[in-house]
Structure 1
Amino acid sequence: MSTPREELHALIDSLSDGAAAELLPELRLLKLQAEARNEHPRGSGTWPPAWFGSIEGSATDISERADEILRAEMGRGRQ
């Protein structure tokens, strides 16, 4: 019995060039997802992180003024 890596190599080697080209984007995505899981393991850190709240905002009442801000911005064209 082969290891999963050996089996994967054998499967890839058996693909046509066209099939390999179709599979490549999906494999890249799987690799990125695996790397993200390894870099940011769930449940292993403390909350809030050390950097949380490390900067000071410019306005403290933005959530209270959300409707007013949205009304003022609606209809403004892109500049």
Structure 2
Amino acid sequence: MSEKINQSSLNALKIAFTYMPRPIEVTKYEYGDSYQKVLDHIQTVREVLLINDVDPDEVYGEINPENTPNSTY
């Protein structure tokens, strides 16, 4: 998958990504036998964001700037 998506779809993906668990939060204890599938889904979304020149680690701050602490450096 290397095709960019339109801006409306990209914005929707960013919003959905902010509600996804972080990979470190996905454990077999919490998600049972489907934990690997959840990790794969998170990775797929991260890859699409990267293909579209979006840093997945910056998405939450972009979508929710009022809940993001200011940088200290």
Alignment TM-score, normalising by the size of structure 1: 0.29
Alignment TM-score, normalising by the size of structure 2: 0.31
Structure of higher CA gyration radius: 1
| Larger helix share, 1 or 2 | 2
